[in-house]
Amino acid sequence: MEMRALGRTEVQLSSVGLGVMNFGAQTAEDDAFRILDMAFDAGITLFDTAENYPAPVAAATQGRSEEILGRWIAARRLRDRVIVATKVAGPGNAAGDMSHIRGNKRRLDRANIVQAVDDSLRRLDTDHIDLYQVHWPERAVTTLGRSRYSCIPDSPALVPIEETLEALGEQVQAGKIRHIGVANETPWGVMRYLAAARERGLPRIVAIQNGYSLLDRYFELGLAEIAMREQVGLLAYSPLAGGLLTGKYVGAPAPIPGSRSSLSPGFSARFTDKKMRATAAYTALARQHGLEPAAMALAFVRQQPFTTSVLMAASSPAQLELNLRSLELDLSKELLKQINAIHDDLPNP
């Protein structure tokens, strides 16, 4: 397993991480433990969760992903050998109704962050969090349903980035979190965090967790340069585009029993004609080269110079075993040219 630096810190983490957002809902605890064991045995040291997981988000299950991860770490006595990452939910989270998390006053201010950190520490059964991330900006951003930017006036209650960073800095000073990151952020937002850290002597963000895959390469348009020049690397989530890039939906886009498409009604909206044509092209290209489509997709994300770690998810040990094959794969320059040709023809469907 290749190890990479977390931002400008001395922390080294695995180039592939495990996202556990399905633990406690789609994946039961015994299967989750088997998946976690398999991941660690393969060399994975980064384990990523959030206070609102598992997904689909529900009051009855909220926090279970952190709890399962915490119980596994304690049972295996691995706390000093793994990197635990979790996230604070704010009003901008796009995962549906989350009023069960600190009610309607959930914001990215000091009071909410203090409570969120303490609650996550309790569920994770640990005294510190290695990487604590802001799950979504409070302001409206161009992602998930807003494909074109329009300047929406900020809410009067909007918490400035500087105030959020100050609150996070207090938690670093208290020893409750080690490092800070952002998720689902824009180039403007990342640069504001970096400027605030420099101007106010506050902790510097070390990572950006955004979506990135063969079907979603928007990160390259603005954030890639920032990630490389500022050494704030990408933690890439959804590298398989919610399972589309496994190829299992090609020719059969109806919900597959037990899959995320069967559990999330809104998931079927992803099966657009353009997206399915691109998926079919990438699937055919992988098989032409004798590769599993998922392995090719994961290797592509891992090989990007701005990527720190690829967050793969698995709902079963068998699925993780298949995904781990990407660790043995390095895509040739010729194959990368063919991938880029598909992208140029069907960009970011």
Q: Is residue 201 left, alpha or beta, with left meaning phi > 0 and alpha meaning psi from -120 to 50?
A: left
53 assigned to active site: yes
- Of 240, 14, 230, 36, give the one whose Cα is nearest residue 131: 14
* Peptide bond just before 349 cis, omega within 30 deg: no
Residue 10: its H or E element: none
Report the distance separating Cα 204 and Cα 151, nearest Å: 27
Q: Do residues 65 and 20 touch, judged by C-beta distance below 8 A?
A: yes
Task: Output b/e per residue, 147-162; b: 16+ Cβ within 10 A.
Answer: eeeeeeeeeeebbebb
Torsion sign (Cα): 141, 144, 146, 152: negative
Distance CA 16, CA 43 (A): 9
Helix spans in 264-313 (H): 273-288, 293-302
- Beta strands in 162-266, from DSSP E residues, in sequence order: 177-183, 205-211, 233-237
Q: Is 16 helix (H, G, I), strand (E, B) or coil?
A: strand
Q: Which residues are known catalytic residues?
A: 53
